[in-house]
Amino acid sequence: MARKGRNIYKRKDGRWEGRVILGYDGNKKRKYHSIYGRNYTEVKGKMQKYIEKYGDVRGRGDTIGVILYFWLNQKRIEWKPSTYANYRRIIENHLLPYWSHIYPEMLTVDKVRKFVLTKKDDGLSSEYIKSIFGVFQQALKYYENEHENVHYKIPIPSFNGNHNSKSVIKELPSIETINEVEKILYTKELPEQAGILIAINSGIRIGELCALQWKDVDLDNGMIHISKTMQRINTYSNQNPGTKIYIMEPKTSSSVRDIPLPSNLIKFLACKKTVPEEYVVPGKRVDYCEPRTLQYRFERFLKENGFQCFRFHALRHCFASRCVELGFDVKSLCEIMGHSDVHITLQLYVHTSVKQKRILMERLNESPNPPAMLGRME
């Protein structure tokens, strides 16, 4: 029989035949249901209708839910706890509610498109939806490799469109606000005082700051060394359920970096530095202060000093924007921020103020042929 497409053939008698996989018999041989038509397109359409109607009677084939958990359990030993927790969160929050009882053969472009629209209605960005499908594809691909003669493919739609508001901080504090926060911090005796000042002047992530120890602060050379991060992660353990604090290497090699600090901050830190093993932001019951506790302390500081609350992560955005306004080249800023790609720096962390835009526009008047003169020259 001449073949055209997966499991669809042209018979010697001129008819087309398609075979829908029903599962396996006791001897582990595949069972099929044959569908006939006058041409390839007709058979393909009939097969899809059959799968959508009778997909739940295919016997021993695994559902997508089974496949996803199979992948998680098999790969867990190879992953960092944070990677496992992230993948499991994606699977349980986004994939299982929609796909758990569906068989891979029932995946269609239409179903996938509806799923994407549902996720966008939930407020997820296109980039995050892409990452969800990345997990989906990895799981099915792994299942293919582990099971002979199994071939699955997810029909992926286009992901055009802007980032949703959830992927971008809605409202950032002004540079003037950050300057005022910094000024007050220099006069306050707080456990997190040095840490917040470092964040304002370096743009480090909150997890990196919480994992920072005084041995990572090189006052002689005026810089900090970032080589680890702190994160609270769900253990997904039956013996010890709940969450646990992990101090680990950053996700990417670009996040391991040395960041120079301004001289006035170096002088201040010289008066605060304690023994090398102590954390820059100490805790009360333990040696360290975890990210969610630091966020709480930071918000309390803002309220007590009359500022409108904003997330600690906003300090990172403001640092990047301030650096651009001061003339930093993007490559250097990308390395300071710990990004693997300058596009991440530009798209997510650089927010040019109206004031800076005016300054840039005024420079047009300083050019040899300002815009007002161009019309006369033509």
| Same domain (yes/no): 129, 244 | no
| Same domain (yes/no): 240, 108 | no
Please give the pLDDT value at position 169. Answer: 44
In this predicted model, which residue has the larger pLDDT, 160 or 42?
42
**pLDDT tens-digit map of 298-346:** 999 999 999 999 999 999 999 998 898 888 998 999 999 999 888 888 7
| Residue written as token pair 């209605």 | 121
**If 0-12 CB within 10 Å is exposed, 13-18 middle and 19+ buried, where does residue 299 land?**
middle
Averaged over 142-150, what is the pLDDT?
A: 69
- Whether 89 shows a pLDDT value over 80: the answer reads yes
Instruction: Report yes or no on 348 lying in a domain.
Output: yes
Instruction: Report yes or no on 374 lying in a domain.
Output: no
**If 0-12 CB within 10 Å is exposed, 13-18 middle and 19+ buried, where does residue 197 land?**
buried
In this predicted model, which residue has the larger pLDDT, 29 or 93?
93
Instruction: pLDDT band for 252, please (50, 70, 90 cuts).
Output: confident
| Same domain (yes/no): 228, 268 | yes
In this predicted model, which residue has the larger pLDDT, 182 or 61?
182
Give the lowest-confidence range in 80-84, 106-110, 254-258, 302-306. Answer: 106-110
Please give the pLDDT value at position 316. Answer: 93
In this predicted model, which residue has the larger pLDDT, 63 or 349?
63
| Same domain (yes/no): 158, 25 | no
Instruction: Report yes or no on 251 lying in a domain.
Output: yes
Q: Please provide the DSSP assignment of 105-163 as one string.
A: GG--HHHHHHHHHHHHHTT--HHHHHHHHHHHHHHHHHHHHHSTT------PPP--SPP
| Same domain (yes/no): 99, 143 | yes
Measure the CA–CA gap between 176 and 187, rounded to whole angstroms: 17
Please give the pLDDT value at position 133. Answer: 87
Please give the pLDDT value at position 204. Answer: 96
| Same domain (yes/no): 14, 145 | no
Instruction: pLDDT band for 97, please (50, 70, 90 cuts).
Output: confident
| Same domain (yes/no): 72, 142 | yes
Domain of residue 238: give its range: 175-359
| Same domain (yes/no): 70, 200 | no
| Same domain (yes/no): 161, 74 | yes
Last residue of a domain, one of 167, 197, 220: 167
- Whether 239 shows a pLDDT value over 90: the answer reads no
Give the lowest-confidence range in 30-34, 62-66, 193-197, 370-374. Answer: 370-374
Give the lowest-confidence range in 64-68, 127-131, 157-161. Answer: 157-161
| Same domain (yes/no): 220, 302 | yes
Mean pLDDT value across the chain: 81
Instruction: Report yes or no on 21 lying in a domain.
Output: yes
Alpha carbon 262 to its chain's center:
31
- Whether 293 shows a pLDDT value over 80: the answer reads yes
Averaged over 134-139, what is the pLDDT?
A: 88
Q: How many domains does the chain have?
A: 3
- Whether 253 shows a pLDDT value over 80: the answer reads yes
| Same domain (yes/no): 305, 265 | yes
Please give the pLDDT value at position 358. Answer: 67
Please give the pLDDT value at position 4. Answer: 54
Averaged over 188-208, what is the pLDDT?
A: 95
Instruction: Report yes or no on 369 lying in a domain.
Output: no
Give the residues across from 248 on adjacent strands: 229
Last residue of a domain, one of 121, 149, 167: 167
Instruction: Report yes or no on 189 lying in a domain.
Output: yes
Instruction: Report yes or no on 378 lying in a domain.
Output: no
- HSE-CB for 161 with a 13 A CA cutoff: 18
Last residue of a domain, one of 150, 167, 184: 167
| Same domain (yes/no): 345, 199 | yes
Task: Indicate the pTM of the whole model.
Answer: 0.64
What CATH number should be reported for the domain holding residue 246?
1.10.443.10
**pLDDT tens-digit map of 18-65:** 877 655 444 545 567 788 999 988 888 887 777 666 543 444 467 788
Measure the CA–CA gap between 317 and 187, rounded to whole angstroms: 24
What CATH number should be reported for the domain holding residue 86?
1.10.150
Instruction: Report yes or no on 112 lying in a domain.
Output: yes
